[in-house]
Copies of this chain bind each other. A is one copy, B any other.
Amino acid sequence: MTTRWLDDQDLRVWVRMVAVLELLPAQLDSHLRRVADLTYFEYYVLAMLSEAPERSLRMSELAVRTNATLPRLSHVARRLEARGLLQRTTAHDDRRVTMARLTEVGWDKVLVTAPEHVEQVRSLVFDALTPEQVTQLGEITEALLGVLDPEGHMSVPYSRHALDDL
């Protein structure tokens, strides 16, 4: 098997990309833990619900949109429910289905947390880039998602409201 190595330029780009993949989520996660006592994933779950009609989604759909397995989501939902941030109810028409709905407390949590999170995103990402670079980043991420997520599962709530976009 002959290996196609990365050429020198690709290599330098990749080293930096790896660093970004490591550092950016870590810093967002750490910020959310500090200001909201939420993991990045927990915040993401709440944010997805907050964008959905009735602030409610069935577990399996929520799992798809957060790229989580159902077991993982189920555990997280149990903890969030214990904290009063969301509520689970069985669907009437199909009693296998569980609907997860944001409570008022959960909604307030998103309302308070989202601005701080957005500010963090802005200062870590958008403030560091020129408008051209933002455009380029949009095209690059689009191209990458063509490979990583051809079905587009993670881009469903594409930009409904401006509130809790991540």
Contact = CB atoms under 8 A, between A and B. Distances in A.
Contact of A23 (B20, B121, B154): B154
Interface string A147-159: 1110000110111
Contact of A67 (B14, B22, B115, B146): B22
B4 A122 contact: yes
Contact of A6 (B128, B154, B165): B165
A128 B115 contact: no
Nearest to A162: B5
A158 B15 contact: yes
Instruction: Give the bracket for the number of chain A residues in contact with chain B.
Output: 35 or more
B13 A138 contact: yes
Contact of A16 (B10, B135, B155, B157): B155
A125 B5 contact: no
A130 B6 CA distance: 14
Given A134-B10, A158-B15, A23 B140 contact: no
Contacts of A134: 9-10, 13
A166 interface: yes
Contact of A133 (B16, B67, B140, B159): B140
Q: Which of A16, A123, A129 counts the most chain B CB atoms within 10 A?
A: A16
A115 B19 contact: no
A144 B20 contact: yes
> When A and B form their complex, which 9 residue pairs have the shortest distance between CB atoms, in order from nearest?
A16-B141, A19-B154, A3-B115, A13-B138, A23-B148, A136-B136, A128-B147, A128-B143, A11-B165
